Amino acid sequence: MSIELLTGILLLCILVAFALGAPVGLALAGIAMGVGYMTWGDGIFNVIPTTVEATFFSFILLAIPLYIYMGQLLTKSGIGDAMFNASQMVLGKVRGSLAISVICVCSMIGAMVGIIGAGIMTSGSIALRPMLERGYNKRLALGVIMAGGGLGILIPPSIPMIMFAASTQNSVGRMFLAAMVPALITVVLLIAYVVVSCRLNPDRAPITKADFDNQQLSPMAKMRVARDGFLSILLIVVVLGSIISGIATPTESGAIGVVGAILLAIVFKRFKLDMFRAAGLQTGVLVSVAMWIILGASVFSNFHLLMGVQAMVADFTDTLDLPPIMIIIMFQVIMLLLGFIIDEFIIVLMCAPLFTPIAVSLGYDPIWFGVLMIINILIAVQTPPYGFALFYLKGIAPPEVGMGEIYKSVTPFILLNLTVLIICMVFPELVLWLPNLVMN
């Protein structure tokens, strides 16, 4: 069977299984093994143990449980509320203030974590409940968390950037610096979108009694909100500081965050054994959900790669004869399409070494191309039907929020990311200015 036909059959099977509502990870793995058995024989089953080892034994992914745990403790100990109460007091009656705070808090969290899941899980478990409680439009609330959480891979440190730099022999430092301006543009655009859309549709972000309560507190109570907020932000400083000062790696800083969250809960006199137990249980479930998806998706893509899908992509780009910028655009389109079925790490591992040499031979800067790839991946993880960010968000959303609603909620934010992608494509100096300034 040709790889093109195989890819078509796999896509068809996924479409059917997803439509029937099958659990995403197990369905992907089941389809790969079923189709694999028919095309390859039972030898393909051996992909399971190697994939289990690679996913369940990955130090990079260890950041997922640690950051989810930290996020759960923040929520359940009331620290998350404290953070948002404080920002609410500062931003006052600005419409959509809570959503703006989400983006600000997410940017800070993004500067701590290097993967997308941990960012969404942490910020989602802190921010979603307060927003829904205050009557925010559900789509705005969900979308802003996804967009903010996604900053985890756009704001350094970023695991996909490290993987890109490593697989194309480029400087990680340059890569990190190059992403700074695009990340800043993204943050500004996100905030601008929230402000404008809330001004145009005031009912998307109602100003509630809670907002007034925050404003009309007694000076003593205001002091208390400020102190709690300050202590909570101090936690972010501690986590970030532990990375910058060389105490911990980005992965390990999640554990520092857990310890900090427990200490804060004790300071706030909200530490109860029951809260602690509930945070652990919820973390356990969310970690299992994430890891069984990652395992299933990896079994699927490993099978697809062993069958030679990477050669298909390479042949396809080789045979076309296009002007340079069209090739760059085509690469972006291919990655966006790949993003429909595979996850962000695999896209980098597969496409970075395939595409970057071609981009360089056409006269483009590899770092610029890498940043485009990262923004592209940011979009890919948020696009249906298969997008990791979507699944993470579904994992923390209230049960009545369906996948359709989540798909709709991300649309404006994907368009914003697409805008940033195009801006960076048209104005390469936005990407290259900072690294050239600092490192040359």
Partner 1 sequence: MFTQVLQRLCRSIDFVVMLAGYFASFLMPFLAAIVAYEVFSRYFLNHPTIWAFDLSLFLFGYIAALGGAYAQQKKAHINVDILYLKVSPHTRRVFNLFSYSLAIFFLVLVVKLGFEKYEEAIEFDYRTQSEWAPPMFHFWIMMCVASVLFIAQFSRDMVAEIYHLVTGNPLIAPENDDNDEY
Partner 2 sequence: ADVSAAEHNWRFGNLYGRGTAFGEIYEDLAKNIETMSDGRIAVQVLYSGEGVGTSGLLGATKSGLITMGAPFQSMHAGELPAGIVEIGLPGGTDDPDELYSLFHEKGWDKVLEKAYGSQGLVWLEPYIQPPVYVLTKEPINSVADFEGLKIRAPGAYGKFLRNLGASPVSLAWSEIYTSLATGVIDGSIGSNMIDHRDGNHVEVAKYMYKLPLAGAQVLPIVVNRSAWKKLPEDLQKVVREATVIHAKEQLEKSRQWESEAVAEMEAKGLQWSPEPSEADKAAWAEAGAGLWDEYSAQDKYSKQLIDILKQQ
Choose which of 305, 312, 329, 418 interacts with partner 2 (CB under 8 A): 305
Specify whether the CB–CB gap between 342 and 297 falls below 8 A: yes
**To which residue do tokens 């996913």 refer?**
55
Is the Cβ–Cβ distance between 128 and 141 less than 8 Å?
yes
The residue among 168 and 383 lying less far from partner 2, judged by its C-beta, is 168
Question: What is the rounded (10 degree) CA torsion for 195, 200, 201, 207?
Answer: 50
Among 11, 259, 362, 415, binds partner 1 (CB under 8 A): 259
349 binds, among partner 2, partner 1, Na ion, none (CB under 5 to 8 A by kind): partner 2
Among 155, 194, 235, 342, binds Na ion (CB under 5 A): 155
**Nearest Cα residue to 365 out of 419, 328, 418, 313:** 328
Tell me how many degrees the CA angle 37-43-49 measures, rounded to the nearest 5.
105
Tell which one of 170, 332, 376, 409 touches partner 2 (CB under 8 A): 170
* 394 lies in the binding site for partner 1 (CB under 8 A): yes
* Rounded Cα–Cα distance for residues 257 and 243 (Å): 11
Check residue 296 for interaction with partner 2 (CB under 8 A).
Answer: no
155 binds, among partner 1, Na ion, partner 2, none (CB under 5 to 8 A by kind): Na ion
What letters, b where the CB count within 10 A reaches 16 and e where it falls short, cover 61-97?
A: bebbbbbbbbbbbbbbbbbbbbbbbbbbbebeebbbb
CB 161 within 8 A of CB 176: yes
Regarding 274 and contact with partner 1 (CB under 8 A), the answer is no
x/- track of binding to partner 2 for residues 119-158 (CB under 8 A): --------------------------------------x-
List the alpha helices (DSSP H) in 155-249.
159-168, 172-200, 209-215, 219-244
The DSSP letter of residue 245 is T
The one-letter code for the residue type at 77 is S
238 counts as binding partner 2 under rule CB under 8 A: no
If 0-12 CB within 10 Å is exposed, 13-18 middle and 19+ buried, where does residue 358 land?
A: middle
φ, ψ of residue 171 to 5 degrees: the values are -75, 125
Stretch that binds partner 1, among 20-28, 167-175, 205-213, 352-360 (CB under 8 A): 20-28
Q: Using the rule CB under 8 A, is 168 a contact of partner 2?
A: yes
387 binds Na ion (CB under 5 A): yes
**Footprint on this chain of partner 1 (rule: CB under 8 A):** 17-27, 29-31, 33-34, 45-46, 48-49, 52, 56-59, 61-62, 65-66, 69, 242, 247-248, 251-252, 254-256, 258-259, 276-278, 280-293, 296, 299, 384-385, 391, 394-395, 398-399, 402-404, 407
Rule CB under 8 A: which residues touch partner 2?
43-44, 46-47, 49-51, 53-54, 57-60, 157, 159, 162-163, 165-173, 243-251, 302-303, 305-306, 308, 310-311, 346, 349-350, 352-354, 356-357
